Structure 1
Amino acid sequence: MSETIICEPLTRHAFAPFGDVLEASGEPDKLINQGLCGRYHDLAGLDFTGNGARAGVSLFKSEKRQLPYQLEMVERHPLGSQAFLPMTQEPFLVIVCPDENGVPGRPRAFITSPGQGINFHRGTWHGVLTPLSDPGLFAVVDRIGEGENLEEFWFEAPYQIAERQASI
C-alpha cells in the first residue's frame, strides 16, 4: 500500500529548504518605468557550476495532471538551480524531497497560488513539472552547459499525492 502525501499551500517559509518562491506580493522593491511598474528584485538565487555554464531561458509545455497524483520518481540537477515561471494564472503542483545521504527522503507537496513561480536550489530532489490545468506552459530558467546535470530516483513504492480536504 502506498503512503499518501497531503498537499500544502506554497509559502516562502515552508519552501525555503528547497528553493525560492517567486511572486509579486507586498510592496515592490522600487518603482521603475516612470513610476508605473513595480520591480520585485532578485527573487531567485540562480546557481550554476561548470566551465562555460550559463543561464538559459526555455519554454516547457507539459500535459495537465490531476489529483490524486501518483509519484513514482523524483529528479535533481546537481550542476544548477532551476526556476519555473507559469505563463498562466493557474496553480500547479510542486513536489520536493529532502536529501538523506544522497537519496530523497519523504516527499512534501505544495500547491501554488495563481501567479507564483518557484526556483529549485541546485541539487534539490523534485517531482517533474506538474501543471493542474491546460495549457501547462512555463518559462524555465536553468543551466545550459556541458556535464551530467540530471539524476533520477525511482521509489520502490509510489506515493499518492492528494489535496487537503476542506474543513466541515
Structure 2
Amino acid sequence: IGCGIGDFIAKTAADSPATNFIAIDYYNKGCDKTCRRLEKQGITNVRVLRVEAREFVAAHIPLDSLTAVFINCPDPWPKKRHRKRRLVSSDFIDFIKVYLQPGGDFFFATDFEDYGLDVAALMATRTDFANILAPDLCRFDIDNYHRSKYMLKFMAEGKNIRFVHYRKH
C-alpha cells in the first residue's frame, strides 16, 4: 500500500516471480512511475492500481487471502491534530486482519520516529498477531527487506527507518 515510484515492489516482485502482487497508491504520479519501472524491467507479476486502498480491498479482495501487506513510509501526519488521518491505526489493523490469511505478514516501515513507535506499541497490544521481531517492538533493519528510493534517501540524511513485522495467528 503506497507504491511510491515502484522501487520496493519491483525488487520484491523480481525476487518472487511466482507470487502475484498488487501495488496500490492514491496518486497518479506514483502509479505511472511504478508502471514504467515494472515495464522497463519486464516484471509481469504486479498489478498497479490507483485507488483508495481500503475501498479496493473491501470490494475486491477475498477474506483470508493475502499472504502479506507492506506499508512503506506512509504520510506521517506529524502534527498532533492531524494524527487521526494516519493510515495505520487500531481500526485499520482490525480491517486488514480479516484479509490476511492465517500466517500472513504485516510489514510497516517509516522514517518518522513517532509513527514507528506508535505502530510498534499498537501492534504489541494485539493478541491476534505475533511479533516476528521479538523481543524488539521495532528495528532499524530487517533482513531481506528491499529499500525504497525514499528509505534510501532518508537513510542518507541520517534518519533511521523503523520496521515493524507481525504475523497473523
TM-score (norm: length of structure 1): 0.25
User: Which structure has the bigger radius of gyration?
Assistant: 1
**Which structure: greater strand fraction?**
1
**Which structure: greater helix fraction?**
2
Q: Which has the higher contact order (CA 8 A, sep 6+)?
A: 1
TM-score (norm: length of structure 2): 0.25
